[in-house]
Amino acid sequence: MVFSSIVFLFYFLPIFLIVYFVTPKKLKNSVLFLSGLIFYAWGEPINVIYMLLCILINYGAGRLMERADKNEKRRKLIMILAVVFSLGLLGVFKYSGFFAGIFGLDIQTPALPIGISFYTFQSMSYCIDLYRRSIGVQKSIVDFGAYVTMFPQLIAGPIVRYADVERELNQRSVNLPAMGEGVGTFICGLAKKVILANSIGMLWTEIKGHDLGQLSACTAWIGILAYTFQIYFDFSGYSDMAIGLGKMLGFHFPKNFDHPYQATSITDFWRRWHITLSTWFREYVYIPLGGNRVSKLKWVRNLMIVWGLTGFWHGASWNFIFWGLYFGILLTIEKLWLGKYIQKLPRFLAWLYTFFCVVISWVMFDLSTVSHITTFIKSMFGGSGVLIDDYARYQFHTYVLIFLLCALSATSFGKWLLEKARRSKRLDQILCVLTPVAQMGLFVLCIAYLVNETYNPFLYFRF
């Protein structure tokens, strides 16, 4: 089940909210736990077993660490075993086929459970933070289960660490303004996904279906720019919907995106893109390896390990590893040498450099083979011998308005405009009336798109 579906919007969500808000406070986490299991089981019932096993093992590890409170060696062993189990669960489903291929083994690999990369990372963070004594043990398996299976962020994040919601699991409340803010955030996320990502994504799907070596340079650039916007609005739209749903329930999930296509360096880009994943790898991999408090050589090693793993987290294929290492190399170069020169550039040139590097990265991210990647990049720079053709002109004229809308929506201009308008008391009063009307109109438009279109993927579901 996806958020941008009629089933979720008009059946699951309304029924859940009614049941949730009429349920006594002491039982709300039970409703949250059960609803998460139903949501997850909607498409793949068998995979609920693996999630429950992950919950049971990590909850049990937490209770065992509590009992071994004064025995640090035992606590560490329990934490390591829990992490190994979670990584093993992830490895069997996500990476067994990859390693079997490397060693030439012909084995039947299991289907990848949706969202396993997210809920295993959340479970691991609980055990690691508990070992570090930065959080308290969760004694209720229902409350811990509610944390892991919380359907707003279950499938594609944000990656919510236990520390982010520890207090709110047992002490949360929702008032009317917070509910309204949550609804508004959800609708904006839905619009990003349905109106922008789906519309522009169809263009990329069509273009990459052609012979990549015969694409004109303009067609190749139009295609990869379409994917650049699609993946951003698809993923940030889902994150916004998750954050909005969390607000409706009294949770404050961490922000996952901060206008990344406005970044003026690769370092800046990764402060803005998939923030919760970057935070997770920094806290649980980069810093334990020594971070930047080591020799320069070891620091480069740490950086490349983190970014190789970041790529591998996204998928069990070489293109994702190359994608991660590509960013690792760029970040290393920026921090060692290039960064000081980028800071001296005019802001537009710094942005242009960053955006160009990011766009190239999406070729590696979406095309699964080295030959496809190299062929497409060659076409981007005239490898086919054709700069522009009638097909490129046709697609440009067809999609120019949606490209402009995507470009504007990817900036903070709208947010800046609203903040400026709210400084005027009169305009603020008008906005208070118009905002709910505009949100309702946007929601109706999204439903119209959903009813009329069959193209409705969620890109990050495969991770």
Query: How far is it, in rounded angstroms, from Cα 456 to Cα 426?
Result: 40
Give the CA distances from residue 357 to residues 21, 205, 266, 328, 381, in Å, rounded to whole numbers and listed in that order.
47, 22, 8, 12, 14
The owner of tokens 């619009």 is 191
Reference 159, options 240, 238, 256; nearest CA is: 256
User: Which class for 196: exposed (0-12), middle (13-18), buried (19 or more C-beta within 10 A)?
Assistant: buried
CA 344 to CA 135: how far, in whole Å? 42
Q: Is 314 a catalytic residue?
A: yes
Contacts 24+ apart (CB under 8 A), 86-89: 86/54, 86/57, 86/58, 86/120, 86/123, 86/124, 86/127, 87/120, 87/124, 89/50, 89/53, 89/54, 89/116, 89/120
Q: Are 328 and 267 in contact (CB under 8 A)?
A: no
The one catalytic residue among 210, 252, 259, 314: 314
**Cβ-based neighbour number of residue 264 at 10 Å:** 20
- Give the separation between CA 308 and CA 176, rounded to whole angstroms: 44
Structure tokens at 39: 């949501």
How many angstroms separate the Cα of 293 from the Cα of each of 134, 283, 296, 298, 299?
Answer: 22, 14, 9, 9, 8
Q: What are the residue numbers of the active site?
A: 314
